[in-house]
Amino acid sequence: MLTGSVIIFYLLAALTLACGVLSVTTRHIFRAAIYLLFSLIGIAGIYFWLQYEFIAAVQIVVYAGGIAVLIIFSIFLTQQAGSKLPAQTNQRKIFALLAAFCGFALTMLQVYQHEFYLSAFPTGSVSIHAIGEQMLNVDQSGYALPFEVISMLLLAAMIGCIVIALRIKNQTEENPPVTGNSES
């Protein structure tokens, strides 16, 4: 039966996959970034469809709002506007397509042969309260230690970005680093 929920799922899946394919095949780099953005939004829609609102919100904020904008800015900084990417050789395309298709077929074969023990009652959404409680819990099931490690990683990445993108002083006058404040 074809209810609204099913139709929405297939629309989101089609949006995600079509934009993903266009993103890796188009020769305009700016369009590739926009297609990537729509693909990421489609994935956020699938998270909404699965009733994981928190993950969907994080996906939209970090990916669609952060990483996509970062990529678009770096395109503006490094590419001539309107110029096309050079075309790839057909040989490379064919072999890449072959490798991707064989990997996909093998993966899907394994997935369909494997019998998952599906849970009898998939529950609805989880509350943000429960997520926060488990995230900062120091008990056995808590994630306080990975949380701290991720904080250190983000700090290190931020400092690393500033150091990498910093210009050397004697080369030119001081210039603010371009990246580094993206994930704060």
Partner 1 sequence: MQPGLYHILFISAALFFIGVYGFFTRRNLITMLMSIELILNSVNLNFVAFNKYLWPEKMDGLFFTVFIIAIAAAEAAVAIAIIINLYRSHHSIDVEQAEELKN
Site for partner 1 in 29-88 (CB under 8 A): 29, 32-33, 36, 39-40, 43, 46-47, 50-52, 54-55, 58-59, 62-63, 66-67, 70-71, 74-75, 77-79, 85-86, 88
Nearer to partner 1, 46 or 81 (CB): 46
CB of 162 to partner 1, least distance (A): 8
Please give the residues from 112 up to 141 whose contact with partner 1 meets the rule CB under 8 A. Answer: 112, 116-119, 121-123, 126, 130-131, 134-135
Count the residues in the chain. 184
> What is the size of the binding site for partner 1 (CB under 8 A)?
86
**Residue 107 near partner 1 by CB under 8 A:** yes
CB of 54 to partner 1, least distance (A): 7
CB of 156 to partner 1, least distance (A): 8
Which of 11, 136, 144, 153 contacts partner 1 by CB under 8 A?
153
- Coil, strand or helix at 164: helix
| Contact criterion met (CB below 8 Å) for 55 and 126 | no
| Contact criterion met (CB below 8 Å) for 46 and 9 | yes
Which of 83, 95, 136, 144 contacts partner 1 by CB under 8 A?
95
CB of 59 to partner 1, least distance (A): 7
Report how far apart the first and last C-alpha atoms of the chain are (Å, whole number): 46
Q: How far apart are CA 182 and CA 179, in angstroms?
A: 6
Distance of CA 100 to the CA centre of its chain: 19
CB of 152 to partner 1, least distance (A): 11
Positive or negative, the CA dihedral 111, 114, 119, 120 is positive
Which of 83, 136, 144, 146 contacts partner 1 by CB under 8 A?
146
Rounded (10°) CA dihedral 50, 154, 67, 85: -130
Distance of CA 133 to the CA centre of its chain: 26
CB of 127 to partner 1, least distance (A): 10
Geometric angle at alpha carbon 122, from 116 and 123, rounded to 5° = 155
